[in-house]
Structure 1
């Protein structure tokens, strides 16, 4: 099991969760953040600090955002498991589900 970052993070990317994550498993895409499912240790430290309530335990993702579990997993298919986000910085792409969302300006 793992945590999932869902739609409320798109175009927000507050990054409080990144600072709180003890294993550096939250990666930054162009428009959203993503939890690496193989690196996440299910500690839950990220969830309470998210100001837009975009982070959910895998089994608790609301029905309207269930596709984000797949998006968080597939985002890493090409990238693999780098062993930590801080060394990579911004990854200049997003999963198609995120890229296809209308841009939020506020």
Structure 2
């Protein structure tokens, strides 16, 4: 099983998760992060580090979220690795409020 970044990351891109990842499996674009399933070692450290609950274990995904497995797998290898904490997107706090997490 692997871990998956779901839609909660959209418009946030908090990078707290990358600071606890032992293998640098996170990749990012201008809107969000993705996990490379070929690199992820399933340690689960990133799940509790995410301030918007965007990361889930593959077997914990709802039917609606299962599409994120393929999205992460296909997008991650084509994007740069994110190895250190970065500033979240300017829309991150509004998105966290929208998700009811403030």
Cα 1:20–1:105 shift into 2, 3 Å: closer
Aligned counterparts of 2:23 and 2:11: Cα–Cα separation in 1: 24
Give 5+ residue unaligned stretches, structure 2.
84-90, 95-102
Contact preservation (8 Å) 2:11, 2:92: yes
1:63 corresponds in structure 2 to 63
TM-score norm. by structure 2 comes to 0.75
Q: Size of the alignment, in residue pairs?
A: 89
Please state if 1:39 is matched with 2:39: yes
With 67-76 and 4-13 compared, the bigger mean Cα shift is at 67-76
TM-score of the aligned structures, taking structure 1 as reference length: 0.72
Q: 1:30: how far off?
A: 1.5
What is the distance in 1 between the residues matched to 2:93 and 2:51?
Answer: 17
Distance in 1 separating the partners of 2:42 and 2:6? 16
1:18 aligns with 2:14: no
Deviation string 1:7-36 (CA, Å, 9 cap, x unpaired) is 000010110001111111111112110000
Per the alignment, residue 74 of structure 1 pairs with 74
Aligned to 2:48: 48
Conserved 8 A contact 2:27-2:76: no
Distance 2:52 2:58 in 1: 17
Which structure 1 segments of 5+ residues have no match?
Answer: 87-102
